[in-house]
Amino acid sequence: MTPRVLSGIQPTSDSFHIGNHLGALTNWVSMQETHECLYFIADMHAITVEQDPAQLRERTLLSFAQLLALGVDPKKSTIFVQSQVAEHAQFMWVLSCLTGLGEANRMTQFKDKAAKGGASSASVGLLTYPILQAADILLYRPNAVPVGEDQRQHLELTRDLAIRFNGRYGQTLVVPEPHILKATAKIMDLQDPTAKMSKSSPAGCVNLLDSLKVTEKKIKSAVTDSDTQISFDVINKPGVSNLLTILSAYTGTAVPELVDSFAGRMYGDLKKEVAATVLEFAEPFQNRVFELMGDRAELESLMADGANRAREIAAATVTDVYTKIGFAI
């Protein structure tokens, strides 16, 4: 049987950035050839911190359109919006009742996010975020969940909850394997190449929907080093290495070959080529996104289709779960 994968992404920015693209989303696209794939926009996770309603709705549509424009294909995969499948919230309640308060409190991402916002302003939703994530996953009984390293702890909680549920109520849930993405590129901040690219540091973050001019400027202002030689050395030359990684990912040319081709050339040449390559990708991508956004009815109908397909699987799990725990359904 074709193995099933599931993954989600939050609609918390106006655009995905090249770190999202090269770190995770290219994987989403390629896994369609070998797996049965379920991908969703995690709008319920987004509201763990305050969101403007109109902006959230727009970003959800934009995220969905971007996935399609990147090649996530509704004919091959089930693509949906989390809040449109009510089973996520239903199942989450059950899993909340199986999660220890101490267990939830130990999640490092919660601790980080709560500390950032001032601990007392953190919502209960931020605390239970990983339980919702566990529900997202266990509803669909995937074999693997492709996520970044930062999600490892949430995956472990998911596995623990599945094992606990099965132990208490009998074999019901599939214990998923994490599928930590490291083969693909880890893209660093252009202004601080020792930190991961993130929307919280806009100057060093290239968004797929940034205007082409802005993208070019960001790449040309990337921080390098005081040396002149173009070589791949993450420790001593993190900026140059990051540019090589980006170029390699978008051209498909291996890094050593790129290094050879840049022998004797200057950092400016490398930046120029990175910019040209990223723009070559971004321009048709943006046109496709705008085209999709121009036909809301079609986009909403694709969302509804995805939600219907997802619901079929999710509802069966909830029925199973409700029966096992003794709800009088």
Q: Which residues are tagged catalytic?
A: 113, 196, 199
Residue (138 or 222) nearer to ligand TRP, CB: 138
Q: Provide the minimum distance between the beta carbon of 38 and ligand TRP in the complex, in angstroms, as a whole number.
A: 9
CB atoms within 10 A of CB 67: 24
Stretch near ligand TRP under the rule CB under 6 A, chosen from 4-12, 113-121, 163-171, 234-242? 4-12
Please tell me the distance from the alpha carbon of residue 252 to that of residue 64, in angstroms, as a whole number: 26
**Reduced DSSP (H G I as helix, E B as strand, rest coil) percent helix, strand, coil of the chain, to 5:** 60, 10, 30
Stretch near ligand TRP under the rule CB under 6 A, chosen from 132-140, 205-213, 214-222, 223-231? 132-140
Q: For residue 91, with 0-12 CB atoms within 10 Å meaning exposed, 13-18 middle and 19 or more buried, which class applies?
A: buried
Stretch near ligand TRP under the rule CB under 6 A, chosen from 25-33, 145-153, 166-174, 311-319? 145-153
CB atoms within 10 A of CB 60: 21
Owner of token pair 């090649």: 71
**By CB under 6 A, is residue 8 in contact with ligand TRP?**
yes
Stretch near ligand TRP under the rule CB under 6 A, chosen from 3-11, 59-67, 180-188, 311-319? 3-11
Owner of token pair 């091959």: 76
Q: Provide the minimum distance between the beta carbon of 229 and ligand TRP in the complex, in angstroms, as a whole number.
A: 36
**By CB under 6 A, is residue 10 in contact with ligand TRP?**
yes
Of 36, 43, 87, 136, the one binding ligand TRP (CB under 6 A) is: 136
Q: Nearest-CB residue to ligand TRP?
A: 8
Q: Provide the minimum distance between the beta carbon of 146 and ligand TRP in the complex, in angstroms, as a whole number.
A: 8
**By CB under 6 A, is residue 41 in contact with ligand TRP?**
no
Owner of token pair 């950092």: 267
Please tell me the distance from the alpha carbon of residue 106 to that of residue 102, in angstroms, as a whole number: 6
**By CB under 6 A, is residue 145 in contact with ligand TRP?**
yes
**By CB under 6 A, is residue 12 in contact with ligand TRP?**
no
**Can you tell me whether residue 145 is helix, strand or coil?**
strand
Of 4, 35, 45, 237, the one binding ligand TRP (CB under 6 A) is: 45
Contacts of 182 by beta carbon, 8 Å cutoff, 6+ apart: 149
Q: For residue 251, with 0-12 CB atoms within 10 Å meaning exposed, 13-18 middle and 19 or more buried, which class applies?
A: middle
Residues 270/230, Cβ–Cβ less than 8 Å: yes
Contacts of 234 by beta carbon, 8 Å cutoff, 6+ apart: 241
Counting residues that bind ligand TRP (by CB under 6 A) gives: 13
Residue (23 or 204) nearer to ligand TRP, CB: 23
Of 5, 38, 107, 137, the one binding ligand TRP (CB under 6 A) is: 137
Residues that bind ligand TRP (CB under 6 A): 6-10, 42, 45, 133, 136-137, 145, 147, 151
